[in-house]
Amino acid sequence: MSTTAFIAGGIAACGAVTVTHGFETVKIRLQLQGELQAKKDAPRLYRGVIHGMTVIVQNEGVRGLLRGLGCAYIYQMTLNGCRLGFYEPIRQSLTTTLFHDPKVQSLGVNIFSGATSGILGAAAGSPFFLVKTRLQSYSPFLPVGTQHHYRNALDGMKRIYNAEGVRGLYRGVGPAMVRTGFGSSVQLPTYFFAKRRLVRHLDMQEGPALHLLSSAASGVVVCCVMHPPDTVMNRMYNQTGNLYNGAFDCLFRTVRTEGVLAVYKGFFAHLARILPHTILTLSLAEQTNKWMRRVEDRLLSKPLKEKL
């Protein structure tokens, strides 16, 4: 993928973030609700995606859904910046080592480089994700989780730094990296897999309908693998002090007290956020690739024809 495709991807991602941020807010509150409580004792303030959206808008207005949006942009730009900056160097050095030629395109190497640069981006952006999560779980009406009343992203970062130092800012960075690594390594392979199946079994042609269906399939799989580490991450982000000794401790205690399905709390809200996101970014990537090929064809063929 080229720089243009990455930048287009970044812009598409920010647009998608704006549209889907509300689902993320509901998701976080669903994931934190009933933490380490047996099912029958846990109060259910939010009863699912639709109910969650409705009560948040009723009590807090649309502003309630959009808490932490600024932070979400900064995170998205950090993530995409890292992808842009690290992808090519990683890809080139790997292909040079493996094939002794930096120009070889290998799907495996490309996916690995994409996942690695995503993981680096997640590590770099984790403090923003932390503050974003805390801003989104803050509610003066139906609070779940520790209520951190930060005025904005900068205020949040300053207060965390002053109280807990750099370690406090990087709380939960492990599951954050796992989460993004899972998502980035699964997205493209499942997309290409679904596309091949649809072409072979349903005889579909290259075009928007095929891109839409394949990216939707990819989005569902991405959500399934990403959601458990995402739940762990949000619970690590919520804690002040040390409720858990680490990500595995959090996972085991969650499953023991709330049951295995607890790691899938908020799944449908996550799906509502991931589906449009994946469809938009993947379809857009296909479009930009098509346009670029056309431009390249024109630029390359014209001078040739003139010479002939």
Ligand X SMILES: *[C@@H]1O[C@H](CO)[C@@H](O)[C@H](O)[C@H]1NC(C)=O
Q: Footprint of ligand X on this chain (CB under 6 A)?
A: 32, 35, 144-146, 238-241, 243
Minimum distance from residue 125 beta carbon to ligand X (Å): 22
Which CB, 106 or 239, lies closer to ligand X?
A: 239
Which CB, 31 or 184, lies closer to ligand X?
A: 31
Q: What does the alpha-carbon distance between residue 77 and residue 11 come to, in Å, rounded to a whole number?
A: 9
Minimum distance from residue 131 beta carbon to ligand X (Å): 15
Minimum distance from residue 254 beta carbon to ligand X (Å): 11
Of 170, 211, 165, 163, give the one whose Cα is nearest residue 191: 211
Q: What does the alpha-carbon distance between residue 217 and residue 271 come to, in Å, rounded to a whole number?
A: 11
Which CB, 35 or 60, lies closer to ligand X?
A: 35
Minimum distance from residue 144 beta carbon to ligand X (Å): 5
- How is the chain split among helix, strand and coil, in percent rounded to 5? 80, 0, 20
Which CB, 80 or 238, lies closer to ligand X?
A: 238
Q: What angle do CA 116, 185, 91 make, to 5 degrees?
A: 45
Of 155, 152, 137, give the one whose Cα is nearest residue 29: 137
Minimum distance from residue 255 beta carbon to ligand X (Å): 16
Q: Report the Cα 35 to chain-centroid distance in Å.
A: 22
* Residue whose structure tokens are 């982000």: 237
